[in-house]
Copies of this chain bind each other. A is one copy, B any other.
């Protein structure tokens, strides 16, 4: 419930706008601002659901969200989205459908912006278009790493990768407090919850990691890196 002033901001003054918008002028930001909704989500709430039409893209302004594909009986978490980052699915330029679901992991707030406005700006502003393509490319590279980790590494390597992802990319500290569940950790690593927990236990026993509830600390980064690399 903090951050209420955000409701009154416009995009041009927004202190926490996504870096994708840096190539936009104030007039262009005003365009975005006009088609914008500010929403709050409680932890666990669905932001959008795979298969539904997508008319807006989502910019997470506080909290933490996950995007995940609902597959055959289980979920694959594609990424965690933290402030200030945005969710722009591949369906927007194809058939305006969501190809994955998104939900709030922590209590979160987000801005929703009409994708038509976004597409218009892509056409009219080459810098913006290029930034967007760069962003799509980075996502693809991330997908590549992910698919190789998931298909060619054994569980230890995959958990190691997930731990580095959480520590380095999401929580950005080393003793870090995870706000995701063990099931989420398993859905990131493509394994069962039970297996994920067992690997954590092994890492603890080998002194690579300490786990106290949701507080994790990677003690032996070098060894964990090696586990990540040897699969």
> Interface on A for B, CB 8 Å cutoff?
69, 71-74, 76, 90-94, 99-100, 119, 122-124, 126, 129-130, 132-134, 136-141, 143-144, 146-148, 150-153, 190, 229-231
With a CB–CB cut-off of 8 A, which chain B residues contact A229? 72
Q: Which residues of B contact A74 (CB under 8 A)?
A: 152
A152 and B231 within 8 A (CB): no
Residues of B within 8 A of A130 (CB): 93, 119, 122-123
Assuming the A-B contacts A74-B152, A133-B93, are A146 and B147 also in contact, with contact meaning beta carbons closer than 8 angstroms in the complex?
yes
- This protein's copies in its complex: 2
- Judge whether B134 and A94 touch: CB under 8 Å: yes
B152→A71 contact, CB < 8 A: yes
- Within 8 Å by CB of A152, from B72, B138, B147, B153, lies B72
> Helix, strand, loop or mixed for chain A's interface?
helix
Taking the nearest CB of chain B, how far is it from the CB of A132, in angstroms?
7
Shortest beta-carbon distance, A111 to chain B, in Å? 22
A129-B129, A144-B100 in contact; A73/B231 too (CB < 8 A)?
A: yes
Q: How far is the CA of A148 from the CA of B99 in the complex (A)?
A: 12
Structural contact, A144 and B99, CB atoms closer than 8 A: yes
- Residues of B within 8 Å of A133, CB to CB, are 93, 122, 129, 132-133, 136
A147 to B146, CA, bound (A): 9
Least CB distance from A69 to B in Å reads 6
Bound CA–CA A150/B69 (angstroms): 13
Determine whether the beta carbon of B153 is less than 8 Å from that of A72: yes
* Residue from the list B92, B124, B231 in contact with A72, Cβ < 8 A: B231
A191 to B65, CA, bound (A): 33
Closest 5 CB pairs of A and B: A90-B140, A123-B126, A90-B137, A71-B152, A93-B137
Complex-state Cα separation, A76 to B230, whole angstroms = 17
The residue of chain B having its C-beta at the shortest distance from the C-beta of A136 within the complex is: B136
